[in-house]
Structures are given as structure tokens and as C-alpha cells.
Structure 1
Amino acid sequence: MATRTPQAITVGGITPTYHAATAATGDKVKAGDRTFIHVRNGAGAPVTVTFSGVGKTSYQEDLPDKAYTVAASGELLIPVLPSLGDSEDGSLATFVCSAAADVTFAALRI
């Protein structure tokens, strides 16, 4: 499992660095109000990106996992809001792609 630091998008713009998705153990990124991941699916089938351990209710019960579908040969911008971060893990959000072949992502912050 790799922890990725969100790349800052500046006034001058950036050329984002993309990372190969890790299907078995997933990846982590620090959650924040202005943080998102850009997922690119180069595969011929849809991929599901699932955030787990997304927090607790006011009664301290676990919230359900949050899942997003990226279409075959598609892209999706997914917000990594603070509610997705685990406060016990330094507000890191963990996400797993259902398949990793031909799936890349960039962690970004605006």
C-alpha cells in the first residue's frame, strides 16, 4: 500500500504525475476539502474505486464504504473529502481499485 502526497495545482498549472493503482492492498492519500484523485481507466471494462473506513456516525458506528465506477476507457475525478479520511491514521483515505491493470491515478490538491 503506497501513500501518495497530493500534488498542488498552482496558478501556473501542473503536469500531474500518475501512479499505477494497487488492486490488492490499495493506496492512501491525505483527505482534505480541496483534494481529489483523477482516475484513468485504460482497461476495456469498468473499474470500481472503493474508499473504506470512511468514518463514523455521531453514535460511533462505521459509515458504509463509498464506491465510484470509472467507465471502460474512461476517467473520473473523485473528491477525497475529510469524511473519507481516518482520523486515527492522520486523515489518510484508503481506496482500492477493483482491477489494477491499465488503471492509474493522480492525487491532486487545488
Structure 2
Amino acid sequence: MAALTTQNIVAAGTKPTFSAAALTDTAEVGNGHNTFIVYKNTDSNAKTITITVLGLTAYGEQQPDPALTLGATTGELWIPLRREYDQADGLGRASITVSGTGGVTGVTVAVVRMS
């Protein structure tokens, strides 16, 4: 598991630095409105990005974990890191998992925040 560093978007423009994704990463959720995790995939296999959500719904059922498809070869996802994704560990971080054929081969990630 890797704790990803948040990069701030500045008025002059920003090109985030991408790093290799781990099977499970954690990322700061920020204020829940201004922080995104960005995945890119160059592998020939699509991947699934799953965000762990804690807690129960108003009906007492487990909150659903969003699972998003990261397309093959040129796939890119910008996922807002909502407050509901906070793992309640006092660190204000979300837990995100990459799965699919080939694991994290060809998958890079960056966390960006509008300041």
C-alpha cells in the first residue's frame, strides 16, 4: 500500500507528476470537493478501480463501494475524493484498489487538489 502525495493545481497551470500505482493506494480526501485521484492505463487490459466506503446506509446495509472501469491502452479516470471515502482512521484518507488482468501493469496515478 502506498500513501500518495497530493499535488496542488496552481493558477499558472499544472501538469501533475504520475507514479506507478500499487494494488492498494491511499489518498487524501481534502475537503471532499476539491481533490481528485487520476488514473491512466497503458496496458492492453482494462482495470477496475474500487474505492472502499465505510459505514451503513440509512437502511442498515453496508455502503456500496464504487467500482469504476479504467479502459485499456489509453484509459483515464478523474475520480473526486469525497468525504464519504474517509477511512475514519484520523488521517483523512481514502483507500483505493486496482484490480484486473495484469494487476497494476501500465497503471499510473496522481492526486491533485484545486487550491
Give the TM-score taking structure 2 as reference length.
0.84
Secondary structure of 2:72's aligned partner: coil
Structure 1 residue 85 corresponds to structure 2 residue 86: yes
Q: In structure 1, what is the equivalent of residue 16 of structure 2?
A: 16
Q: Relative to structure 1, is the Cα distance of residues 39 and 85 closer, same or farther in structure 2, using a 3 angstrom cutoff?
A: same
CA shift digits 1:10-68 (9 cap, x unpaired): 10112211111112xx000011321111110101111101111x132366753121111
CA shift digits 1:70-107 (9 cap, x unpaired): 11121111111111111224221010111200000110
CA distance in 1, matches of 2:69, 2:82: 17
CA distance in 2, matches of 1:36, 1:55: 19
Q: Give the count of matched residue pairs.
A: 107
Identity across matched positions, percent? 34
Alignment of 1:45-64 (within 5 A): 45-52=45-52, 54-57=53-56, 62-64=62-64
Give the TM-score taking structure 1 as reference length.
0.87
Q: In structure 1, what is the equivalent of residue 25 of structure 2?
A: 27
CA distance in 1, matches of 2:21, 2:113: 19
Q: Contact 2:57–2:63 (CA<8 Å) still a contact in 1? A: no
Structure 1 residue 5 corresponds to structure 2 residue 9: no
Structure 1 residue 101 corresponds to structure 2 residue 105: yes
Which amino acid counterpart does residue 108 of structure 2 have in structure 1? T
Q: Contact 2:56–2:62 (CA<8 Å) still a contact in 1? A: yes
